[in-house]
Chain A
Amino acid sequence: MSFPWAKHYEPKNPVMQWVDSRLPLPRFVYNAVGAGYPVPRNLNYWWNFGVLAGVALVCQLITGIVLAMHFHSSAASAFDSVNVGIMRDVNAGWFLRFAHANGASMFFVVIYIHMFRGLYYGSYKAPREMVWLLGVVIFLLLMATAFMGYVLPWGQMSFWGAQVITGFFSAIPVVGDWIRIWLLGGYAPDDAALNRFFSLHYLLPFVIAGAVILHIWALHIPGSSNPTGVEVKGEQDTVPFHPYYTAKDGLGVVVFLILFSVLIFFAPDYLGHPDNYIPANPLSTPAHIVPEWYFWPFYAILRAFTADFILPAKLWGVLAMFGSILLLFFLPWLDKSPVRSGSYRPMYKVAFWVLVADVLVLGYCGGSPAEPLYVILSQIAAAYYFAHFLIIVPIISHLETPKPLPGSITEAVLAKTGA
């Protein structure tokens, strides 16, 4: 689909004419991310993060494929192949390794901002539910990929992280332990687990790439949302993606690369844990097992359940942790407000910022040791997290009186720029 005023692909170059008439791939690209895709003219910088997530994925694929050429997926030599082979002997191996490890962090930074942008501007609402649903699928795949990637260097946190995460499955009643042993290929993480994690860690990014194509395809049916949440009404509301948003995203990409480079070249271990520079040792449990920062909010939810109430506390924790992500699938139907953008929703806007603060508190608790005060704080924050999506948002959508919406995107733009 496209708007009727979308530009049509007319190749001037005879080679492109020849290709396009036989395989309309150039036309497809032109309509997807070229001048053939009309986009609202009022997108702000928060709309850069979709393209940035794509850039992060490509960076991870390129560095990851080259790293895989030098990695040994065996419990005996994985740590050495990373910390001696790649870090010391492979030409610029240190760069590949640091770019890949920090690239995962940058990917999550970008994805979280992208998701919160969707939450604030109601991008999940009709007719874009499918875009949101696919986005949640991508997020889940990304978490699985990142977890398995973190296991590969086979340091202490790799090993014990794998131990803890696969331990979730043993919370399943009756068959839990059996499932865990089946998933690991043994009683504890070892060669079998390391090899399958490596295999899946190589596979899943391509599954993500496929899901990203569907995500963009689904986006192109209704077209991009925008900060007013008012749908496009005519040609004056849009500009072609190229050159307008390629230029704006180009700027975003350079800023992204600058921050990324500061991490890679000047603080490559800042976001990591020192214990992962100790080779995996099944006989020595680290004092504090913590996942990477991007899992902290979910780790806090997991650990917040400390009471056995009908079900064991561990099972509650695991259910709630998965539930905290799965409930995002239902968000398009939990929020019944017809107004998309938080800018015109006074109550929702407050609830949104409280949620942001709540997730930051959860993150802080998840990264801290399981001491009573952090546990209490994470219990309150976890309760609020569920209340936000399942109680507060549905109620707000009934109670709230939205502010008047602008008549069109162009009207909003002209009012803002004072013309």
Chain B
Amino acid sequence: MTSLFIKSIKFLVGGGFILVLLIALWGSIWGVINEPPAETAEHAMHKHPKELKLASDGPLGKFDERQLQRGFLVYKEVCAACHSLSLVSFRNLKDLGYTDAEVKKIAKDWGTKQPVFDEKGGTWGERDNLPSDRFPKVYYPGTGTPPDLSLITKARHDGAAYVHSLLTGYNEKPSAEALKHFPEFAKTPDGMHFNPYFANLNIAMPPPLTQDGQVQYSDGTRATVDQMSTDVAAFLVWTAEPTLQTRRMAGWAVLGFLIVLGFLTYGAYRSVWAGVKH
């Protein structure tokens, strides 16, 4: 008896796990039958981001400097009131084609100043920003916590397309069909705004880009809401990874080298094995 037990222990262990899984499976199926998964508001109303094409897309993509400068302008005039960009330094703006003097001026004129602690007086004061400083943190007292935008296009699915869709999605109201199922969405709570591209559907951020020409472009581009949101999305692709272009260029060089090396190693392999059947 004991030896039979020892011999069949593997079947018992396997049988044990399987038994418990079957009990759990029974529970799950029973649950689904008794209480079929209800449609969620998110499923009914949430929209996938609209397609967005940027110059920086694809393995050969390059940043469009003028677009990045326009996007920076949108960030500066509109977003920067509430959203930090604290992983980026002013000096990084030189990548966008600004000269040293221009970067210096942008830093100096920046609205939010750099906090400094006075060791002698024991008090906090502030000073103008320098090119070597990071963009100062914005402290937002209202409802909601505006996220830092430095990495936002990496921190959301569909990055730039999400940013663009969110900024232009405030006019899209829930369909009559969806409202029949979820009547609570007919009236958005105070201080919230319906936006089908936002995960929770109701977002605390009021529509930031509301009218054409809200930001003054100096390069002749028409500043439509769609254009401004596209430009700022492009800018935020750059802030998320300023080395994006370098990375891809290095990639092509590495791949070129490896492909040549591949032919050489294949040749070496063939010549070493010539005459040995395998």
Contact = CB atoms under 8 A, between A and B. Distances in A.
Interface of A: 41-43, 80, 83-84, 87-88, 94-95, 98, 239, 243-244, 247-248, 250-251, 253-255, 257-258, 261-262, 264-266, 268-269, 274-275, 277-278, 287, 304-307, 309, 313, 316, 320, 323, 327, 330, 334, 371-373, 375-376, 379-380, 382-383, 386-387, 389-391, 394, 413-414, 417, 419
B186 interface: no
A387 B24 contact: no
Q: Which 7 A-B pairs have the closest CB atoms?
A: A265-B251, A390-B14, A277-B155, A307-B24, A379-B25, A247-B272, A383-B21
* Interface bracket on B: 35 or more
A84 B13 CA distance: 50
Contacts of A413: 277-278
Contacts of B259: 258
A266 B248 contact: yes
A261 B251 contact: yes
A258 B155 contact: no
Given A244-B276, A266-B59, A379-B24, A87 B243 contact: yes
Judged by DSSP, the binding face of B is: helix
Contacts of A265: 247-248, 250-252, 254-255
Contacts of A87: 241, 243
A287 B151 CA distance: 19
A334 B10 contact: yes
Given A254-B261, A261-B258, A88 B273 contact: no
Contact of A383 (B17, B199, B258): B17
Contacts of A95: 247, 250
30 contacts: A41-B278, A87-B241, A95-B250, A98-B247, A244-B273, A248-B269, A250-B265, A250-B268, A254-B262, A258-B262, A261-B251, A265-B247, A265-B250, A268-B247, A274-B157, A274-B159, A287-B199, A305-B24, A307-B20, A307-B26, A309-B24, A323-B17, A371-B37, A379-B25, A379-B28, A382-B21, A383-B25, A387-B14, A413-B277, A414-B277
A364 B101 CA distance: 53
B262 A83 contact: no
Contacts of B199: 287
B114 interface: no
Nearest to B147: A278
The residue in A304, A307, A327, A334 that gathers the most chain B C-beta atoms within 10 A of its C-beta is A307
A307 B27 contact: yes
Given A95-B247, A254-B262, A391 B11 contact: yes
Interface of B: 10-11, 13-15, 17-29, 31-32, 37, 59, 87, 92, 134, 147, 150-151, 154-157, 159, 199, 240-243, 246-248, 250-252, 254-255, 258-259, 261-262, 265-266, 268-269, 272-273, 276-278
B236 to A, nearest CB: 12
B24 A41 contact: no
Given A251-B265, A309-B23, A394 B247 contact: no
A243 B274 CA distance: 12
A283 B92 CA distance: 32
A387 B20 CA distance: 13
Contact of B28 (A250, A264, A376): A376
